[in-house]
Amino acid sequence: MIKKMTLEEIGKLAGVSRSTVSRVVNRQPDVKAEVRERVMEVIRETGFVPNSAARSLATQRSGILGLVIPRSVATFFGDPYFARLTQGITQACNARGYMLSLFLFHSNNDEELLLPRLSQGSFLDGVIVQATRDDDPIIPQLMKAALPFLVVGRLNTMPEGVSFIDVDNVSGAYKAVEHLINLGHERIAHITGSLDNRASLDRLIGYKNALAAHNLPVDENLIVDGAFTEDGGYEATRDLLPHQPDAIFAASDIMAIGALRALKDAGLQVPNDVAVVGFDDLLSSYQTEFALTTIRQPILRFGVSAVEVISDIIENGNTPPRQKIYDTELIIRETCGARQ
Amino acid sequence: MIKKMTLEEIGKLAGVSRSTVSRVVNRQPDVKAEVRERVMEVIRETGFVPNSAARSLATQRSGILGLVIPRSVATFFGDPYFARLTQGITQACNARGYMLSLFLFHSNNDEELLLPRLSQGSFLDGVIVQATRDDDPIIPQLMKAALPFLVVGRLNTMPEGVSFIDVDNVSGAYKAVEHLINLGHERIAHITGSLDNRASLDRLIGYKNALAAHNLPVDENLIVDGAFTEDGGYEATRDLLPHQPDAIFAASDIMAIGALRALKDAGLQVPNDVAVVGFDDLLSSYQTEFALTTIRQPILRFGVSAVEVISDIIENGNTPPRQKIYDTELIIRETCGARQ
DNA sequence: GTGAAAGCGCTAACAA
DNA sequence: TTGTTAGCGCTTTCAC
Model pLDDT for residues A219-237, shown as the tens digit of each residue? 999 999 999 888 899 999 9
Q: If we measure between CA atoms, which residue out of A297, A236, A250, A299 comes closest to residue A278?
A: A250
Q: What is the pLDDT of residues A28-70, one digit of tens each?
A: 988 999 999 999 999 999 999 999 999 999 999 999 999 998 8
Count of CB atoms within 10 A of residue B106's CB? 18
Tell me, yes or no, if B72 comes closer than 8 A to chain A by beta carbon: no
Is pLDDT at B163 greater than 80 in this prediction?
yes
CATH of residue B24's domain is: 1.10.260.40
In a domain, A340, yes or no: no
Is pLDDT at B76 greater than 80 in this prediction?
no
List the single residue in B4, B83, B117 with the smallest CB-CB distance to A83. Answer: B83
In a domain, B101, yes or no: yes
pLDDT of residue B141: 86
Number of residues written out for chain B: 340
Distance (Å) from the C-alpha of residue B213 to the closest C-alpha of chain A? Answer: 36
Q: What is the pLDDT of residues B125-138, one digit of tens each?
A: 999 999 888 888 88
Q: How confident is the model at residue B43 (pLDDT cuts 50, 70, 90)?
A: very high
Question: H helices within chain A, ranges in order?
Answer: 7-14, 18-25, 33-46, 52-59, 71-74, 80-96, 108-120, 138-144, 169-182, 198-213, 230-240, 253-265, 299-316
Is pLDDT at A74 greater than 60 in this prediction?
no
Cβ proximity of A295 and A330 under 8 Å = yes
In a domain, B2, yes or no: no
pLDDT of residue B286: 56
Considering the domain architecture, whether residues A215 and A141 belong to the same structural domain is answered as: no
List the single residue in A53, A83, A100 with the smallest CB-CB distance to B122. Answer: A53
3-class DSSP assignment, residue B183: coil
Considering the domain architecture, whether residues A93 and A25 belong to the same structural domain is answered as: no
Residues with Cβ within 8 Å of residue A135, at least 6 apart in sequence:
none
Q: How confident is the model at residue B300 (pLDDT cuts 50, 70, 90)?
A: confident
pLDDT of residue A81: 83
Count of CB atoms within 10 A of residue B241's CB? 15
Q: Which residues of B touch A123 (CB under 8 A)?
A: 52-53, 99
Is pLDDT at A255 greater than 70 in this prediction?
yes
Considering the domain architecture, whether residues B303 and B163 belong to the same structural domain is answered as: yes
A contact residues 262-291, partner B, Cβ 8 Å cutoff: 285-289
The rounded radius of gyration (Å) of the Cα atoms in chain A is 25
> What domain count does chain A have?
3
In a domain, B260, yes or no: yes
Q: How confident is the model at residue B109 (pLDDT cuts 50, 70, 90)?
A: confident
Considering the domain architecture, whether residues A189 and A230 belong to the same structural domain is answered as: yes
- The answer to which of B11-15, B65-69, B76-80 has the lowest mean pLDDT is B76-80
pLDDT of residue B285: 52
For residues A13-32, give the mean pLDDT.
94
Cβ proximity of B141 and B70 under 8 Å = no
Q: How confident is the model at residue B288 (pLDDT cuts 50, 70, 90)?
A: low
Is pLDDT at B292 greater than 60 in this prediction?
yes
Considering the domain architecture, whether residues A291 and A311 belong to the same structural domain is answered as: no
Considering the domain architecture, whether residues B193 and B276 belong to the same structural domain is answered as: yes
CA angle B142, B147, B152 (to 5 degrees): 60
Across the interface, do A49 and B120 touch by the CB < 8 Å criterion? Answer: yes
Is pLDDT at A286 greater than 60 in this prediction?
no
Residues with Cβ within 8 Å of residue B203, at least 6 apart in sequence:
B169, B170, B172, B173, B190, B192, B193, B251, B279
Chain centroid to Cα A257, Å, comes to 22
Count of CB atoms within 10 A of residue A8's CB? 11
3-class DSSP assignment, residue A298: coil
Q: How confident is the model at residue B74 (pLDDT cuts 50, 70, 90)?
A: low
Considering the domain architecture, whether residues A90 and A201 belong to the same structural domain is answered as: no
The residue segments making up the domain with residue A81 are: 64-167+299-326
Is pLDDT at A264 greater than 60 in this prediction?
yes
Mutation choice for B interface testing from A9, A49, A114, A284 by most B CBs within 10 A? A49
Considering the domain architecture, whether residues A159 and A306 belong to the same structural domain is answered as: yes
In a domain, B333, yes or no: no
Considering the domain architecture, whether residues A305 and A157 belong to the same structural domain is answered as: yes
Q: How confident is the model at residue A196 (pLDDT cuts 50, 70, 90)?
A: confident
Q: How confident is the model at residue B282 (pLDDT cuts 50, 70, 90)?
A: confident
Is pLDDT at A306 greater than 90 in this prediction?
yes
Considering the domain architecture, whether residues A30 and A177 belong to the same structural domain is answered as: no
CATH of residue B303's domain is: 3.40.50.2300
Instruction: Pick out residues 42-81 of chain A having their CB under 7 A from any atom of nucleic acid strand C.
Output: 50-51, 54-55, 57-59
pLDDT of residue A327: 96
For residues B309-327, give the mean pLDDT.
95
Q: What is the pLDDT of residues B213-249, one digit of tens each?
A: 999 999 999 999 999 888 899 999 999 999 999 999 9
Instruction: Pick out residues 5-24 of chain A having their CB under 7 A from any atom of nucleic acid strand D.
Output: 11, 15-20, 23
- The answer to which of A98-112, B91-105, B169-183 has the lowest mean pLDDT is A98-112
Q: CA torsion sign, B206 to B210 to B213 to B219?
A: negative
Q: Is the CB of B31 under 7 A from strand D?
A: no
Cβ proximity of A194 and A228 under 8 Å = yes
- The answer to which of A50-59, B73-82, B146-155, B167-176 has the lowest mean pLDDT is B73-82
Average pLDDT score, chain A: 91
Q: Which residues of A touch B229 (CB under 8 A)?
A: 286
Rounded CA gap, A169 and A210, in Å?
A: 13
More confident residue, B135 or B272: B272
More confident residue, B145 or B42: B42
A320, B46, B226, B234 from B270: Cα distances, Å: 61, 64, 19, 15
Q: Is the CB of A95 under 7 A from strand D?
A: no
pLDDT of residue B255: 92
3-class DSSP assignment, residue B300: helix
In a domain, B338, yes or no: no
pTM above 0.75, yes or no: yes
Rounded CA gap, A239 and A191, in Å?
A: 10
Distance from residue A42's CA to nucleotide C16's C1', rounded to whole Å: 26
Cβ proximity of B150 and B89 under 8 Å = no
For residues B2-11, give the mean pLDDT.
89
What is the H or E stretch that residue B88 is in? helix B80-96
Considering the domain architecture, whether residues B195 and B291 belong to the same structural domain is answered as: yes
Considering the domain architecture, whether residues B183 and B222 belong to the same structural domain is answered as: yes
- The answer to which of A112-116, A158-162, A328-332, B161-165 has the lowest mean pLDDT is A112-116
Percent of chain A with pLDDT over 70: 95
Rounded CA gap, B117 and B150, in Å?
A: 18
More confident residue, A307 or A3: A307
Average pLDDT score, chain B: 91
A to B CB pairs, distance under 8 Å:
160
Q: What is the pLDDT of residues A113-169, one digit of tens each?
A: 888 888 888 899 999 999 888 888 888 888 888 899 999 999 988 999 999 999 999
Rounded CA gap, B99 and B76, in Å?
A: 24
Distance from residue A59's CA to nucleotide D15's C1', rounded to whole Å: 34
Distance from residue A38's CA to nucleotide C7's C1', rounded to whole Å: 29
What is the H or E stretch that residue B302 is in? helix B299-316
